[in-house]
Amino acid sequence: MKLSKTLNYNEIAEANRLAWNEVTPIHQKARELDLKDAFSKSGYSCLDEVITKLLLSMPLAGKNIAQLNCNNGRELLSIINLGASSGVGFDISDEAIKEANELREIADLNAKFVRTIVYDITEKYFGRFDCVFISIGSLYWMPDLDACFKVITNILKPNGKLLIYESHPITDIYAN
């Protein structure tokens, strides 16, 4: 897909992919929670109370979910554990997708993880998803929102839903 902005997105995306590949192992080592252990337990979810409540209010049973910028897949796997039948996560990082596939195998869930730039999601996925999920911190990685939302429109089934769970970064400076 061509971006509407006049920038060399391929160069930017490749630099971004390499940076995420470098930082993902550091994030894994710094993480307090052992996700492999967590996903070895049936029904595990890493999702907070707000998004869990919203997801449970949707009819998830039998639904195929896509997650853009899925990182290591923990949120998509959690959604499947909440009742969705299947899902596909898309992310730019080889290392994040590697971890997502490891967690999928441990959790034994019906999920697939694809290493790609969101803008390059292929026709193979067009019209396949009942819901597209975008989680906190993903949208600002998308330099062309028009192109991003065109991809979302393409991969959603007719009458599919888009669920964006976002927060403003300023909230991170305040104590809970």
Beta carbons of 141 and 75 less than 8 angstroms apart: no
pLDDT in tens, 61-111: 999 999 999 999 999 999 999 999 999 999 999 999 999 999 999 999 999
The pLDDT score that the predictor gives to residue 2 is 54
CA 164-170-174 angle, to 5 degrees, is: 115
- The CATH code of domain 9-173 reads 3.40.50.150
- Prediction pTM value: 0.89
pLDDT in tens, 118-143: 999 999 999 999 999 999 988 888 88
Checking 59-63 for CB contacts under 8 A at 24+ apart, the result is: 60/84, 61/85, 63/130, 63/131
- Parse the chain into domains and list their residue ranges: 9-173
